Amino acid sequence: MLNIPTQSFPASSSQQRVSPSGQSGRNKVALKPGHSLMDWVRFAKSAKDLTGLKGRLIEVTQEELQKHNTRKDCWTCIRGLVYNVTPYMDYHPGGEEELMKAAGIDGTDIFDQIHRWVNYESMLKECLVGRMATKNTAAVKAIVLLPPPTGLAPPAAVAAAPNSDSQPWYDWFQTDTTVHLIIYAKRKIHSSGCMSVDLQAGVLRVEALLGKKSYMIHICLADQVEENIAVQTTSSVGKIQVTMHKQNKEKWKSLGQPLELHNTFLCKKDRVPYYRDCTLISKTQVNHNTQLFRLQCPRGTVIHVPVGKHVYLKAPIQDTEMVRPYTPVNQTLAAASHQPAQESDLYLMIKVYPDGVFTPYLNNLQIGGHISVSGPEGTFSLRPLCDTTDLYLLAAGTGFTPMARLIHLALQEVDTIRQTKLLFFNQRQEDILWYSQLDDLATKDRRFKVEYILSEPSDNWMGRTGRVDKAVLNELLIRPDGSRCYVCVCGPSAFTELTIRLLKELGFGEDELHAFQG
C-alpha cells in the first residue's frame, strides 16, 4: 500500500495540485481515461521496463542528469536518487508541466514544497535509475556496488563487484515498513522463474538457477521480518525482487551479515541441493495406482519450479536416507503453467509401486506428515521451443509428468508452435493418466493431438497397440517441409534409451532431442 492520505488526492477523473495545508494550488486538469492513481500502481507493477536501462542501476553525474530534460526523456533527482519520470507524466496529479519544473535537475526542494507527505520511494521504485555521483565523472558508469536508498550500507552487506560481465549481482532498498532485495540476473529468465527463497529464523537464503550455474544470496538479516514474503520476477530484464515486511519500523544500517556461499555464482554440479521440511496437505486419486500429492512449503519459503524442472524428495527409509526426483504438475491439465509467487504448494503425480521402497513410504504418509523437498533441479531449457513449430512429446507411464506443463506452455505461451503431439505409451487403458482431460483438450484445441499406445490392451480397445518401435515413430512423427521439430522423451530408463536411439536412426539430431532422466 502507498502511504498517501486518500483525502489529499483529487477524484480519479481530474488532476490538481494539493498543498500540504490541503488547499488546492491550481485548477483541476482533466486526466486521460485510465490514468488514475490506481491505474499508475497497476502499470508500475506490469513488469515493463520503466527506466529504459533493462534492469540496471547506474551512477548519474550532474552532466548526465541535465541531458534528460524533455517531455519524452525526463529524469529528476530526489534526495540523491535519480528517477526516470517520463512514464509517470500522464499520471501526475499536478499535470506534466509541474514535473517538467524538475526535469534534468535536483527536484528535492520543489517536491518538498508540494508533495513532502507522498511516499515517492514506493510510488516511483520501478522508475529508479540510480544514485547521483558523489563526484564529477566524464560519463555515466554502470554500478556494480550500489548502496540502498537509505545511504547506510557497509560494503559487507551490499553486493560485491561481479567477477565478469555475465555474473549476476544484487542490491537492496528499504521503506519504513519493507525491505526489498533485488537480484539482477543479467539475462532473460522465464516468467515462472527458477528459484527458491527461504526465510527462517532471520536467515534469508535465495538461490536462482541461471543456465548451468547457480547464484546464491545467503545472509543473516539485520533485524526481524515477518514470515510472509513475496517474490516477483521481471523476466524481460532478468530481475528478481524479494519483498519482506519489517517487524520493527526502523531504518536498517545494513541488510545484514553475509553467511557461507553468499553472493556466489557456481556451477550447479558444485553445489549441494538444499532441502526444506514440507507438509502433505492432500492426496487425490488419479487412477488405480497413481495419486496427486499436494505438498505445502513452510512459511517463509517460496519455490518457483519452471516447466521441465523437477524437485528431489528425501526421506529416512529403513535406516537409509533415500532421494527420488519428481516433476511437479498443475492441479489440473487446464491450470496455469507456472506457480504464482503467492502460491508455492507443489503438486506431484506419483505412481505407487507396491514392491517399491520410496513410493509406499509416500503413500503411507498421513495428511499433516512431513517430507524434505529440494528446490528446482534439471537440465531442461525452454530456449529451443522459441524456434519450434512442431513439438512431439513421447511419454511412458508416469513419464507423462514433465509433459503436462509442457503441453500447456506450448498451447498458451509459445506462439511459434503450430502443433503439439503427445504419444502416450501405457500397458492398459486404466493406466492412462488424465485420460479424459487429455481427450477434452484435444477436442477443444486443434493444435493438440494425443495418440495412446497400449502394450496389454483389453479386447474392446480400439486404439493403437504395441510398444515403441521405429515403425510407429516413423508414422506418427511427421516432419513437414520448413518445419522445426523438437522431441521430448520421458519414461523408464530402458524406454528412454531405446526411443532416443530410434529417433537418431530416423534422422533427428542431438539439438532436436531432450531426454528427461529419472
| Whether residue 461 sits in one domain with residue 412 | yes
Expressed as residue numbers, the domain containing 463 is 383-515
| Whether residue 282 sits in one domain with residue 246 | no
Residue 365 within any structural domain of the chain: yes
Instruction: Report the domain count for the chain.
Output: 4
| Whether residue 361 sits in one domain with residue 440 | no
| Whether residue 191 sits in one domain with residue 119 | no
Residue 1 within any structural domain of the chain: no
At residue 456's C-alpha, the angle toward residues 452 and 457, to 5°, is 60
| Whether residue 182 sits in one domain with residue 68 | no
339, pLDDT greater than 70: no
**Which residues are registered as beta bridge partners of 292?**
284, 349
Residue 452 CB neighbours (<10 A): 20
Q: State residue 473's pLDDT score.
A: 96
List, for residues 192-250, the tens digit of each pLDDT value: 668 899 999 999 999 998 888 899 999 999 999 998 899 988 877 788 999 999 999 89
Is 261 within 8 Å of 272 (Cβ atoms)? no
List, for residues 426-472, the tens digit of each pLDDT value: 999 999 999 999 999 999 999 999 999 999 999 999 999 999 999 99
| Whether residue 96 sits in one domain with residue 217 | no
Is 156 within 8 Å of 271 (Cβ atoms)? no
| Whether residue 249 sits in one domain with residue 198 | yes
What is the C-alpha to C-alpha distance for residues 28 and 290, in angstroms, rounded to an integer?
64
| Whether residue 133 sits in one domain with residue 22 | yes
Q: What's the mean pLDDT when you consider all of the chain?
A: 83
What is the C-alpha to C-alpha distance for residues 417 and 48, in angstroms, rounded to an integer?
25
Is 267 within 8 Å of 213 (Cβ atoms)? yes
Is 146 within 8 Å of 57 (Cβ atoms)? yes
Residue 146 within any structural domain of the chain: no
Of the listed ranges 117-131, 178-192, 218-232, 495-509, the least confidently predicted one is 117-131
| Whether residue 332 sits in one domain with residue 239 | no
Is 233 within 8 Å of 188 (Cβ atoms)? no
User: Among 19-23, 90-94, 229-233, which range has the highest average pLDDT?
Assistant: 229-233
CATH number, residue 432: 3.40.50.80
Label residue 335 by pLDDT band (50, 70, 90): low
Between strands 264-267 and 213-221, the pairing is antiparallel
Q: State residue 248's pLDDT score.
A: 93
| Whether residue 437 sits in one domain with residue 409 | yes
Residue 145 within any structural domain of the chain: no
